[in-house]
């Protein structure tokens, strides 16, 4: 990368970095950031929802700062480096005359702006996408051992950021099929896979929990055009705000006159087509397609330098975008200025209200991997998310958070208006209901295993296995069982109790790391006469039934 930069470039890049630092310091964490901070409390080669790089960034940030900046500092660094890399990737002698236009284009992109300081998996994803494009351009100019190794390391960085990174790699490679005959390209693939081995091992050791969740276990809804496909097109507009007509105009006018531009176009169109097709199956979240912002900055900036109309309107509308974004960013810090009630608002006050009541007592949240880490971050109390059958599995289902709250007096917090000892009200009027439990005990890691596919027939005798992964015995009298009947979309329609039996009625406990075999009969469904999936759940000590079994396909 060329070291000589226009002075105005350094100034505008520095201003953006400084604004992001200030925003990071003064803005309370959003729920997902707190969740990833929880990841970083114990570094690992993988986590339930994502690869580990986001946790590593938070851990590194924590070496330099405390508080919110100790979560976000590396995001500020990476987002600044991303713009520097993009600038360095653009080989056009006229670009020094359009520095301000470059920054207006980049800073006006809505989510790209947000990921300038929020610490989310997309932050390193955007950085490594920009870096891969830069490295790939140099690789095309001079394929060599050096660039092959660097490209492999960069691809590994992408995959350690987010699984969607596979799309970036695939579409860049598809843009140049002749790479299959390039020994250095194969070297880069080998290096990437070698670097990724620790994560493969983690997945294997954890029963591929991340892949199973994202591909097989997530519930879905029947297709809804307005919610899915139309919502996808709304996201395409939201990515760029008021500049979107000229951004997509620049994309449509671009031509693949060289291999690098061909890679840019393959990446953008590939991602757009992939998620358009996916929109017929599920709702597409805006951040899933944010990666197209990186190649589009290069494509559209080139277009701006050649087209006066695009340059004029992107500059004008970009400045309006920036003004709106800055106003919203101030609203994140100073709540009275915010036009909406955002998720950062009111959390610190709520945490203080709860802490004032309970001191350092542990907190157990019903179905909230969002509230549990927010409360732990701002109060320092041990917290745990107790996930039941109405929710989903998450990092709290596989890590060591559960033992930290066992056999202690805890405050159990939920959104259900039950017989509560404490009621807390957030600024938006939502309530949180608390119940004290003197000796909390849960066994959410107990596993129920059905043979797959299961031969479903109400009243017919079946078997399932109960596995105890804990290093202590568990009294079976503390456990009750139920069965959930699910649709094709894994939506639960029936939850019915079952009374399974052991062959030996004298067995009263299940040993550590032991397995027991139960016989039971499927109860007659009430709503779903022909379930597509079934699952066995466990209630311990009167808590709500958990997600202890896999969604098992019915024959």
HEC per residue, 372-422: HHHHHHHHCCCEEEECECCCCCCHHHCCCCHHHHCCCCEEEEECCCCCCCE
Q: Of the given ranges (46-50, 198-202, 221-225, 462-466), which has the lowest mean pLDDT?
A: 221-225
Q: Of the given ranges (131-145, 218-232, 497-511), which has the lowest mean pLDDT?
A: 218-232
Are 462 and 454 a contacting pair, CB within 8 Å?
yes
- Cα 495 from chain centre: 29
pLDDT band at residue 155 using 50, 70 and 90 as cut-offs: very high
**Global confidence as pTM:** 0.95
* Three-state secondary structure call for residue 194: helix
Are 291 and 126 a contacting pair, CB within 8 Å?
yes
Tokens of residue 386, six digits:
């107790």
Q: What is the pLDDT of residues 271-329, one digit of tens each?
A: 999 999 999 999 999 999 999 999 999 999 999 999 999 999 999 999 999 999 999 99
Work out the burial of residue 500: count CB atoms within 10 Å of its CB; fewer than 13 is exposed, 13-18 middle, 19 or more buried.
Answer: buried
Q: Dump the DSSP string for 209-263.
A: HHHHIIIII-------TTTTHHHHHHHHHHTTGGGHHHHHHHHHH----SHHHHH
DSSP 518: E
Q: What is the pLDDT of residues 443-470, one digit of tens each?
A: 999 999 999 899 998 888 999 999 999 9
Which residues have a Cβ under 8 Å from the Cβ of 231 and sit 6 or more positions away?
279, 283, 284
Return the bridge partners of 535, or none. 484
**251 vs 296: CA distance, rounded Å:** 7
pLDDT at 120: 97
CB atoms < 10 A from the CB of 97, how many? 11
Q: What is the pLDDT of residues 48-101, one digit of tens each?
A: 999 999 999 999 999 999 999 999 999 999 999 999 999 999 999 999 999 999
Place of tokens 């079952």: 498
* Three-state secondary structure call for residue 123: helix
Q: What element of type H or E holds 21?
A: helix 7-26
Are 215 and 176 a contacting pair, CB within 8 Å?
no
**461 vs 481: CA distance, rounded Å:** 15
CB atoms < 10 A from the CB of 197, how many? 11
**447 vs 47: CA distance, rounded Å:** 19
**352 vs 434: CA distance, rounded Å:** 15
pLDDT at 503: 87
Strands 383-386, 410-414: parallel, antiparallel or unpaired by DSSP?
unpaired
Are 75 and 64 a contacting pair, CB within 8 Å?
no
**487 vs 219: CA distance, rounded Å:** 9
Model confidence at 345: pLDDT above 60: yes
CB atoms < 10 A from the CB of 491, how many? 14
**555 vs 457: CA distance, rounded Å:** 10
Q: What is the pLDDT of residues 472-493, one digit of tens each?
A: 999 999 999 999 999 999 999 9
Domains of the chain, start order: 7-335 (no CATH), 347-437 (no CATH), 447-553 (2.60.40.10)
* Three-state secondary structure call for residue 462: strand
pLDDT at 1: 46
Model confidence at 224: pLDDT above 60: yes
Whether residue 453 has a cis bond before it, omega within 30° of 0: yes
pLDDT band at residue 215 using 50, 70 and 90 as cut-offs: confident
């Amino acid at each position: 990368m060329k070291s000589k930069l226009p002075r105005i470039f350094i100034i505008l890049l520095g201003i953006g970095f400084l604004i992001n630092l200030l925003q990071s310091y003064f803005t309370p964490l959003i729920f997902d950031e707190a969740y990833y901070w929880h990841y970083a409390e114990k570094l690992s080669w993988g986590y339930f929802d994502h690869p580990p790089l986001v946790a590593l960034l938070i851990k590194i940030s924590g070496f330099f700062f405390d508080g919110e900046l100790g979560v976000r500092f590396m995001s500020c660094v990476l987002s600044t480096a991303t713009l520097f890399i993009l600038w360095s990737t653009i080989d056009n002698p006229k670009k020094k005359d359009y520095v301000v236009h470059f920054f207006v284009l980049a800073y006006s992109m809505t989510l790209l702006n947000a990921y300038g300081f929020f610490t989310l998996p997309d932050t390193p994803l955007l950085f490594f996408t920009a870096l891969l494009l830069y490295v790939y351009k140099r690789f095309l100019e001079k394929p060599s051992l050096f660039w092959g190794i660097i490209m492999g390391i960069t691809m590994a960085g992408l995959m350690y950021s987010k699984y969607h990174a596979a799309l970036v790699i695939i579409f860049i490679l598809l843009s140049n099929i002749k790479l299959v005959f390039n020994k250095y390209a194969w070297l880069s693939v080998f290096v990437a896979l070698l670097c990724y081995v620790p994560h493969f091992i983690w997945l294997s050791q954890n029963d591929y929990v991340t892949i199973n969740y994202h591909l097989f276990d997530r519930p879905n809804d029947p297709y809804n055009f307005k919610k899915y496909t139309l919502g996808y097109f709304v996201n395409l507009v939201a990515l760029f705000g008021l500049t979107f007509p000229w951004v997509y105009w620049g994309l449509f006018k671009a031509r693949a006159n060289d291999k690098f531009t061909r890679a840019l176009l393959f990446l953008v169109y590939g991602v757009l087509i992939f998620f358009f097709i996916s929109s017929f199956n599920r709702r597409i979240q805006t951040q899933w397609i944010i990666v197209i912002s990186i190649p589009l900055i290069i494509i559209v900036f080139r277009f701006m330098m050649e087209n006066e109309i695009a340059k004029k309107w992107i500059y004008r509308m970009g400045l309006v975008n920036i003004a709106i974004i800055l106003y919203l960013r101030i609203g994140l810090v100073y709540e009275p200025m915010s036009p909406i009630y955002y998720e950062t608002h009111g959390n610190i006050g709520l945490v203080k209200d709860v802490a004032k009541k309970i001191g350092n007592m542990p907190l157990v949240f019903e179905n909230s991997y969002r509230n549990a880490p927010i409360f732990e971050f701002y109060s320092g109390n041990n917290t745990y998310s107790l996930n039941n059958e109405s929710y989903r599995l998450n990092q709290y289902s596989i890590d060591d958070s559960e033992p930290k709250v066992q056999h202690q007096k805890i405050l159990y917090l939920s959104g259900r208006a039950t017989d509560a000892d404490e009621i807390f009200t957030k600024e938006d009027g939502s309530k949180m209901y608390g119940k004290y439990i003197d000796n909390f005990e849960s066994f959410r890691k107990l596993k129920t295993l059905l043979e797959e596919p299961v031969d479903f027939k109400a009243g017919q005798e079946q078997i399932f296995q109960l596995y105890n992964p804990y290093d202590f015995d568990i009294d079976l009298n503390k456990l009750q069982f139920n069965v959930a009947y699910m649709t094709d979309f894994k939506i639960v329609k029936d939850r019915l109790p079952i009374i399974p039996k052991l062959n030996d009625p004298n067995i009263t406990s299940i040993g550590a790391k032991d397995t027991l075999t139960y016989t039971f009969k499927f109860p007659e469904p009430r709503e779903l006469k022909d379930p597509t999936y079934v699952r066995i759940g466990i209630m311990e000590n009167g808590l709500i039934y958990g997600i202890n079994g896999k969604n098992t396909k019915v024959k």
